[in-house]
Amino acid sequence: MTISGIVRFVAQHATRSNKLKLFFTLLALLTYKYRSHAIGTRRRPDLKEPKGTVPFFGHMILMASMPSTDLYDYFERTYRELGPVWSISLPGIGRMIQGDTPEMLEHVLKTNFWAYHKGPHFTGSMGDAFGKGILSADGESWKFQRKLATHLFNVNAFREYTSEVFNKEAQKVLDYLSKAADSGSVVDFHAIMHAFTLDVFGSVSFGESFGCLENIDGSVPFADAVGDLLGICSLRLVDPLWKVREAVTSVGKKARELKFVMRERIRTIVERRRREGLGDKKDILQLLLEATDDDGNPLTEEYLVDIILTFTIAGRDTMAQSVAWMMFSMLRNETDPSVMEKLVREVDEVLGGSLPTYETHKKQKYAEACFFETLRMYPPLPRNFKTCVQDDILPDGTKIYAGEMFTWSSYVMGRSEQLWGPDVKEFKPDRWLGREKASSLSKFSSFHLGPRTCVGQGFAVLEALTIVGLVLQNFELKLVEPGKVPEYGLGTTLAMRYGLPVRVTHRVRGDASATAVEA
Ligand code: HEM
């Protein structure tokens, strides 16, 4: 009998004298029904589950009591204990089936792509940040935006333009580091990269930066609003009662204010461009203003703002954090110093003291390998999920019903000995050299797989190689705490909670070994 059936039965048969008895009977029945899983979810005795489930609440108490900074390590431990396929259930969110194998990812993200959507849990939680932008879109709206984005990233003029922007914004980073080197002060490389990637995106989107690099130690309202709103939205993903919580606290009001700040900034820029005319600019805004929907109508103002904001968010934290983790990975005590030595030598040989270009990037094979090795160990999106919209069977025979979620972790898979071999814990860029393209490896999902693979992947690699190349060409960096892994931040991306403090000194070019040895 279903819950509503039981409740109907009790309501029909309740009299003044038996009310209490029926209530306890109902409670006992429900407790029995939901003894091992969350209310509103299907019982799945066929699936392995981690210990800690409570009647009605499933794994909610376990998850809520876990510091979010430990979440990914918990997933890794669970993978080792239970294997790659296991499940949890959460009231108000649903059942999540974790499947950390390349075959599972191939199936869900490629072969049966159509059966898995972003789903209401994602769009509801992240809607304030992404609106109807590509990251929360499904179906026709996704197809339309994907076509636009693919076109944009493949236009040669756009590629050349982005190379110029990278160099221009990177110069501001170099100026900042130069002052730090002169004064001997410690700087937060993680914060610098957040300022860099947001300014890059402003310039690439509409030809003007957000001014973050001029204000690294201060505050930029747009940048603060992006960071704070993403923080609020990420919390919603793990809190089934977020609507109530936000209604009774000041968080709901705060979210609305932050959303307003973000959207107003973009709206002002769009209005100004419309007033000034399009000209022959090569930025994202130009493409969007020229684009029409399937009926030949220009995109509405709201849709345009959604698309730009989504792109900005997609390209900021992921980029900033991956470059910060790359620097950490190369400078930490555990990494063989020859890694940095080789990288600096390549930078010197390829760039020879000049600015990177689209062509020089193609020769930075070792730098690219270092970047991919970083993304293996520290994927900016460590965990992801899709909602199943049509009953399906996963490659190992596990059933997944419509409404249940398929979850996977690039973090766990990137650290799996079965998938990467016994040296999985070592930072070894060489494992990427002479290999097939990273995007064809299903065990590497840091850029996603299949039709929804990160559309900005090429852009991301160029941006990373530019900034890392220019920084290492000019400076030696040393971690303040080379023996300690930075604590993970809260949120959906793999931030460093307390940043990445580094000391900077000017580099005498041609001295590649000094960087590695001293680091
Ligand atoms: C190291 C940096 C980056 C990583 C690791 C990364 C990773 C990802 C991942 C995992 C997804 C799939 C998200 C999902 O659907 O659940 C994605 C999608 C996307 N990324 Fe990136 N990304 C990076 C940089 C960028 C940059 C710089 C841009 C923009 C220039 C960008 C634009 C996008 C867009 C537009 C999508 C949506 C694609 C779609 O749904 O079809 N990303 N990215």
Answer left, alpha or beta for residue 132, where phi above 0 means left and psi between -120 and 50 means alpha.
Answer: alpha
CA of 464, closest atom in ligand 1: 1
- Provide the β-strand partners of residue 488: 496
Q: Which atom of ligand 1 is nearest to the CA of 375?
A: 5
Q: Ligand 1 pocket: which residues have CB below 6 Å?
A: 134-135, 146, 149, 311, 314-315, 318-319, 322, 375, 380-381, 384, 446-448, 452, 454-456, 459-460
Separation of CA 330 from chain center: 22
Tally of CB atoms within 10 A around 140: 10
The CATH number assigned to the domain holding 439 equals 1.10.630.10
**What is the 469 CA–ligand 1 centroid distance (Å)?**
22
CA of 20 to the centre of ligand 1 (A): 55
Average pLDDT of 150-161?
83
Q: Answer whether residue 9 is part of any domain.
A: no
Q: Ligand 1 centre and the CA of 314: distance in Å?
A: 6
Phi then psi for 76, rounded to 5 degrees? Answer: -70, -40
Ligand 1, atom 41, lies closest to the CA of 452
Q: How many CB atoms lie within 10 A of CB 291?
A: 18
Chain centroid to CA 373: 17
Q: What percent of the chain has pLDDT over 90?
A: 71
Is the pLDDT score of 290 beyond 90?
Answer: no
Ligand 1 atom closest to Cα of residue 381: 10
Give a yes or no: residue 10 inside a domain. no
Instruction: Give the H or E element holding residue 329.
Output: helix 301-331
Between residues 55 and 505, which one has the greater pLDDT? 505
Q: What is the pLDDT of residues 9-37, one digit of tens each?
A: 777 777 777 777 777 877 777 777 777 78
pLDDT reported for residue 455:
94
User: To which residue do tokens 């999985």 refer?
Assistant: 424
Q: Is residue 399 part of a domain?
A: yes
Number of domains in the chain: 1
pLDDT at 161: 85
Q: In this model, does residue 513 exceed pLDDT 60?
A: no
Q: Per-residue pLDDT tens for 177-222? A: 999 999 999 999 999 999 999 999 999 988 889 999 999 988 999 9
Residues of the chain with pLDDT > 70, as a percent, come to 95
Please give the distance of CA 250 from its chain centroid, rounded to a whole number: 27
In a domain, 312, yes or no: yes
CB 435 within 8 A of CB 420: no
Average pLDDT, the chain: 90
Closest residue to atom 23 of ligand 1, CA basis: 318
Beta pairing partners, 96:
88, 405
Q: Does the ipTM surpass 0.95?
A: yes
> Predicted confidence band at 6 (pLDDT cuts at 50, 70, 90)?
low
Do residues 198 and 498 lie in contact, with contact meaning Cβ atoms separated by under 8 Å? no
Please report which helix (H) or strand (E) contains residue 188, including its range: strand 186-188
* Other CB atoms within 10 Å distance of the CB of residue 405: 22
Within-domain flag for 50? yes
Domain membership of residue 445 as a residue range:
46-506
Task: Over range 480-498, report the average pLDDT.
Answer: 93
Residue 1 lies in a domain: no
Interatomic CA distance for residues 343 and 355, integer angstroms: 16
Per the domain annotation, does 135 fall within a domain?
yes
How far is the first Cα of the chain from the last one, in angstroms, to the nearest whole number?
Answer: 66
What does residue 368 show for φ and ψ, rounded to 5 degrees? -65, -40
On whether the CB atoms of residues 286 and 277 are closer than 8 A, the answer is no
The reply, when asked if residue 454 is annotated as ligand binding, is yes
Which residue spans within 139-229 are E strands per DSSP? 186-188
Alpha helix ranges (H) inside 352-456: 358-363, 365-377, 410-414, 417-420
454 CA distance to ligand 1 middle (Å): 4
pLDDT in tens, 209-255: 999 999 998 899 999 999 999 999 998 998 888 999 999 999 999 99
Q: Give pLDDT, residue 66.
A: 82
Helix, strand or coil, per DSSP, at residue 148 = helix
Residue 110 per-residue DSSP state: I
- Count CA atoms within 13 Å of residue 333 on its CB side: 6
Give the pLDDT score at 403. Answer: 96
Q: What is the pLDDT of residue 158?
A: 81
pLDDT in tens, 302-348: 999 999 999 999 999 999 999 999 999 999 999 999 999 999 999 99
Give the residue whose CA is nearest to atom 11 of ligand 1: 454
Distance 248 CA to ligand 1 centre (A): 34
Distance from Cα 456 to the centre of ligand 1, integer Å: 6
Per-residue model confidence as pLDDT tens digits over 361-416:
989 999 999 999 999 999 999 999 999 999 999 999 999 999 999 999 999 999 99
Is residue 205 a part of any domain in this protein? yes
Beta-sheet pairing, 475-479 with 501-506: antiparallel
Q: For 347-375, what is each residue's pLDDT tens digit?
A: 999 998 889 988 899 899 999 999 999 99
CB contact at 8 A, 116 and 451: no
